[in-house]
Amino acid sequence: MNSLSGGEKKRLQLLTILFRNPNFLILDEPTNDLDLPTLGVLENFLSDYQGCLLIVSHDRYFMDRLVDHLFVFEGNGEVKDFPGNYTQYRLWTKEQEKFSDGRLQSAVKDEAKASTEDHQIIGNKKKASFKEKREFESLEKEIAELETERQQIQNQLSDSSAPYERLNLLSKRIGEISNLLSEKEMRWLELSEIM
């Protein structure tokens, strides 16, 4: 053991843990000290991993390939809960910045207009339309249904006696559900900002 390099020690440690087939993994900066072939093997293994996976990492590409939910630590004890991967989070934050910048510019214009016309602006927040309220309510129901279906499929996938074809179909469906959930949760977040 003493003659192994840092990367070799890390690979050996990962190998001993993964051979135990745990149902919950917490990985703190798992990509540090790994070479590219080992990193590829780890990513492939973790993408097929059926248990719960908690990753602490600064490796954006690694997170984009593996995660579907983020806890973003923003400092001062503030943690943001975000459904999606890192790229989706960055896009969402850019949209929020544009939205808040646009809202600020709009408020300045409205304030200038109000002072020249001598009347007050009550608020600048966009109100949700009836259609958006209905969409928001239906999204909550659809997200709950998709999460229930995903849980049922995960239970079926844990049945080792199921035929390969069935397991293959279920794993494809769970991928579709994850994509749908990401889209619907992003839209839900957009609408919740308006509400």
pLDDT tens-place string over residues 136-191: 888 888 888 988 888 888 888 877 787 888 888 888 888 888 888 888 888 888 87
Beta-carbon count within 10 A of 45 CB: 11
More confident residue, 31 or 120: 31
Question: Phi and psi (nearest 5°) for 3?
Answer: -85, -5
Token match 């308006």: residue? 194
Residues 155 and 104 in one domain: yes
Total domains in the fold of the chain: 2
Q: Assess whether 45 and 112 both reside in one domain.
A: no
pLDDT (0 to 100) of residue 126: 57
In a domain, 74, yes or no: no
pLDDT by residue (tens digit) across 52-80?
888 888 888 888 888 888 888 888 888 88
Side chain identity at residue 184, one-letter code: K
Question: Is 82:103 a contact under the CB 8 Å cutoff?
Answer: no
> Are 137 and 47 part of one and the same domain?
no
**pLDDT tens readout for residues 17-59:** 888 888 888 888 888 877 778 888 888 888 888 888 888 888 8
CATH number at residue 25: 3.40.50.300
pLDDT at 195 over 70: no
| CA proximity to 139, closest of 178, 188, 67 | 188
Rounded to a whole number, what is the distance in angstroms from the first to the last CA of the chain?
58
> Looking at the structure, do residues 122 and 52 belong to the same domain, yes or no?
no
Question: Is there a single domain that holds both residue 19 and residue 92?
Answer: no
**What are the residues whose beta carbons fall under 8 Å from the beta carbon of 170, sequence distance 6 or more?**
153, 156, 157, 162
Quick one: 160 and 106 in the same domain?
Answer: yes
Let me know if residue 76 belongs to a domain: no
Question: Distance from CA of residue 17 to its chain's centroid?
Answer: 25
Containing structural domain, residue 43: 6-67
33 shares its domain with 102: no
DSSP-assigned letters across all residues of 159-189: -TTS-HHHHHHHHHHHHHHHHHHHHHHHHHH
What is the β-pairing status of strands 24-28 and 70-75? unpaired
